Structures are given as C-alpha cells and as structure tokens.
Structure 1
Amino acid sequence: MVDELDGLKEAGKQRARWRASHTLGLLDETLAGSTFGILRRAALVSQDGEVHGEVNVEIVLDPPGHARLPIPDDEIIDRAVAISAACRTRGPAVDLRHRAAHARAGRRPEGDEGSR
C-alpha cells in the first residue's frame, strides 16, 4: 500500500496527491524509522465511558521474490490473507476476518469447512 500511496503523489487530481502525501508523512512520523508504531493511544473520550482503542500501524514487507498481482486491490487482499495466515494467535474474531479476506479473494481458506 505504501507503493500505491507513493504513486498517487503523482496523480492528476490535487486532492489525491495531497491525501497520499499527507498519509505517507503521517506514516513516516508514526513509524519513526521502524516498521511498527502507535498511531493513537487508547483514550477515554466521553463522560459516558466511551473508550477509543489503541491504533497500531505495522509495515509488513513482501517476502523475497514476491511477484505482485496486476490489480492493486487484489494484491492488498492477497497480502492481508498471507499476513492473517501467518498469525500464530487465532481466536474467533481472527478466524472470521481470515475467512472474509479469503472470500473477497475468491477462495476458501485451507481447512475451512464453513461455519463452525
């Protein structure tokens, strides 16, 4: 996605160029030379007790020799599925997201027999 944002900096529309540059700047500031950073800390946002959770950002690099898919959206889904599959700690929420990502990519996760 970083490459997609970088390419948008040269887009024909002023708003797209600004948003891409702004987002890349925010990522650079948040990551501070690392591949992981905290975009926003958890915070109490109202007297009713509403809490906004912490928002983490992580840059996950493609493995050596990775060949990108020709359609950027397909590539993003493919990488999300690969990252999800590599996740060692899985619970019901992760399983749901994993199946949903596979469904968007048009395939069924390995070992998935449908709903549990």
Structure 2
Amino acid sequence: MKSRSDNFLEGNQFVAIQQQFSKAELNQQIFNEKVVVNSNFFRRSSHGHRVIMSPNDFFYYGRTTDLKLIWQQPEFNHHYFAQQLIQQAQEVMSTPFVLEAEQTYCQI
C-alpha cells in the first residue's frame, strides 16, 4: 500500500475491491494484479478544459512490484520520449492545453 502521510485509513475494504476483479488479458497487462487507486481527487478539468490521465497521489493498493513500477520511475529526462514531450510542451505553451504534471507522469 502507498498512502500519503497526511491521510489515514478507516477500514480495509480496498483489499476486497482489488480481489473482486479478474486479471486482464495477457496482451493488455501492465501490472501483475489490479491496483486500487482512490479516484476521489483525480483532476477532471484544468483551465476550463476536461483532462484525462490525471491521478492523485493519495492512495494506491496492490502488489509491491506493481506499486514500484508506478512510483519508482527514473528521472524524466532519462525516458526515451522526454525530448518529444518537452518539444510538444514548448509548441503549445501559449495555449491552455499544456499537459499537467500528473498527465506527464501517466505517459511514463
């Protein structure tokens, strides 16, 4: 489990939630098992526009290896797509459609 230090648990229902879903198709599988994420504070809009892939960092539950895959990422500049995203961001700096930090993290 990964949780922010300014949060606290009031139950363990997340265990049953994680176990009630079957595994994904092997060709679409990213993690070993499902990961439970609190979606209450996902960003749904930014600067008046709808956004996608903008998770919060409050709570994640799943296998340790899966959570490390999410949270132990190399520095952004070490990813093969870093320069492409930087270039795209520079091209749209004057528009309201710049990726938020959470969206960039999901791209990783």
Q: What interval of TM-score do these two structures reach, taking the shorter chain for normalisation? A: under 0.3
Greater helix proportion: 1
* Higher RCO (CA 8 Å, separation ≥ 6 residues): 2
Q: Which has the larger radius of gyration?
A: 1
